[in-house]
């Protein structure tokens, strides 16, 4: 019952995409998601070409199922990275910028699928026009940077009416009920971010995970507070980290390790979220969280999250539409 145009196009077993999520979406998380039958994603943001080649080569050797690579356009300096990603991964995905047919063509030239995460029906049409095989409709309930202005259901409705390629629903989905609702509305898959931040295999700092587990659905805020390195880009975070960052007395909140092992300072109001390698005032760093955070209550293996979502969503869909 959970076979959809998404599972057929991507070649995975279940209609779940783990969101690309900066330093949180590590290879161990993506590989665990793939092994569970869903689409695991890693980030290419701030990853040098040689390091990306090494990471994706290792993933290709061990992945049990297709995986994807996520690019944030404001940080895409070397277009050669797109070709590197497309040579190894089934899916190459872009976010935060006008859909670009030349980038899509580079992905296709290496044999991968091109995906664009969008925040409006207009942007979805442009992504389809640029040649993307899938679009992700991101509602403003989403954790992390939020592209559009609509809640997921309104946006999904508009995007489904605007394009004929399969649409993945993103934003606030952490439970089987939300997954079943998105699929019943016509989404070909759901994209899950915040719930995977607390997966056992995630790269998130334990202090960040603890804050997510303690938070309720009303404890997030859409803000432009964490804008150093990436201005004019609204994002949804825990309200507590906005307050802590505003009160923090110094210009640097800590240190973070980026790909290749280099350690760099985290400026106050910096865009990087705290990973396992981050040190310093974790509470005052960008703790991205969707409204789904209220449903995120335990640290679990990624496979258990995928299994729970699929089994129960399938049961709900069957109950809503009993076989004749």
Ligand X SMILES: Cc1cc2nc3c(=O)[nH]c(=O)nc-3n(C[C@H](O)[C@H](O)[C@H](O)COP(=O)(O)O)c2cc1C
- Using the contact rule CB under 6 A, the part of the chain among 7-15, 18-26, 256-264, 310-318 near ligand X is 18-26
DSSP state of 18: E
Q: How far is the CB of 116 from ligand X (least distance, A)?
A: 10
Q: What is the DSSP letter of 290?
A: -
Q: Contacts with ligand X: how many residues (CB under 6 A)?
A: 29
249: helix, strand or coil:
coil
Pairing of strands 113-118, 134-138: parallel
Task: Please give the full DSSP string across 61-92, using - where no structure is assigned.
Answer: HH-SS-EEEEEEGGG---THHHHHHHHH-SEE
Our measurement of the distance from residue 251's CA atom to the centroid of its chain's CA atoms, rounded to an integer in Å, reads 29
Query: Is residue 118 part of the contact set for ligand X (CB under 6 A)?
Result: no
119 contributes a contact to ligand X by CB under 6 A: no
| Interface of this chain with ligand X, residues 297 to 316, rule: CB under 6 A | none
Stretch that binds ligand X, among 123-131, 135-143, 258-266, 274-282 (CB under 6 A): 135-143
Convert residues 68-97 into a mask of x (bound to ligand X by CB under 6 A) and - (unbound): --x-x----------------------x--
* Cα–Cα distance measured from residue 168 to residue 214, given in angstroms and rounded to the nearest whole number: 28
Question: Considering the rule CB under 6 A, would residue 45 count as an interface residue with ligand X?
Answer: yes
Task: Give yes or no for residue 171 binding ligand X (CB under 6 A).
Answer: yes
Residues near 85 by beta carbon (within 8 Å), at least 6 away in sequence: 44, 52, 56, 69, 71, 92, 107, 112
Please give the Cα distance from 179 to 190 (Å, whole number). 6
- Whole-number minimum distance, CB 179 to ligand X, in Å? 11
| Cβ proximity of 43 and 255 under 8 Å | no
Nearer residue to ligand X within complex by CB, 63 or 238: 238
Stretch that binds ligand X, among 121-129, 136-144, 161-169, 299-307 (CB under 6 A): 136-144
User: What does the alpha-carbon distance between residue 194 and residue 77 come to, in Å, rounded to a whole number?
Assistant: 27
- What string marks each residue from 196 to 235 as x (binds ligand X by CB under 6 A) or -? -x--------------------------------------
Binding stretches for ligand X (CB under 6 A): 19-22, 24, 43, 45, 70, 72, 95, 117, 138, 141-144, 170-173, 191-194, 197, 273, 288, 290, 292
């Amino acid at each position: 019952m959970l076979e959809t145009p998404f599972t057929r196009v991507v070649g995975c077993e279940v209609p779940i995409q783990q969101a690309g999520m900066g330093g949180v979406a590590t290879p161990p998380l993506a590989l665990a998601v793939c092994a569970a039958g869903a689409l695991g994603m890693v980030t290419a943001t701030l990853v040098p070409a040689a390091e990306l080649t090494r990471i994706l080569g290792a993933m290709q050797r061990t992945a049990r199922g297709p995986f994807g690579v996520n690019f944030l356009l404001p940080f895409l300096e070397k277009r050669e990275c797109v070709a590197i990603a497309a040579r190894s991964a089934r899916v190459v995905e872009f976010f935060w910028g006008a859909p670009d047919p030349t980038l899509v063509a580079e992905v296709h030239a290496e044999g991968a699928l091109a995906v664009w995460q969008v925040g409006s029906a207009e942007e979805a049409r442009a992504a389809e026009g640029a040649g993307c095989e899938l679009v992700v409709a991101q509602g403003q309930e989403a954790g992390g940077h939020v592209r559009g202005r609509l809640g997921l259901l309104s946006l999904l409705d508009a995007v489904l009416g605007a394009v004929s390629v399969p649409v993945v629903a993103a934003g606030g989905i952490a439970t089987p009920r939300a997954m079943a609702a998105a699929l019943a509305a016509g989404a070909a898959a759901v994209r899950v971010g915040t719930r995977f931040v607390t997966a056992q295999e995630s790269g998130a700092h334990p202090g960040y995970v603890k804050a997510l587990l303690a938070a309720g659905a009303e404890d997030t805020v859409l803000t432009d507070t964490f804008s150093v390195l990436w201005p004019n880009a609204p994002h949804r975070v825990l309200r507590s980290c906005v307050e802590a960052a505003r009160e923090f007395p110094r210009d640097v909140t800590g240190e973070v390790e980026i790909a290749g092992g280099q350690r760099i300072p985290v400026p106050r109001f910096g865009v990087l979220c705290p990973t396992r390698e981050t040190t310093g005032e974790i509470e005052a760093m960008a703790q991205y969280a969707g409204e789904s955070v209220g449903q995120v209550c335990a640290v679990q293996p990624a496979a258990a999250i995928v299994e729970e979502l699929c089994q129960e969503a399938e049961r709900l869909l069957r109950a809503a539409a009993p076989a004749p």
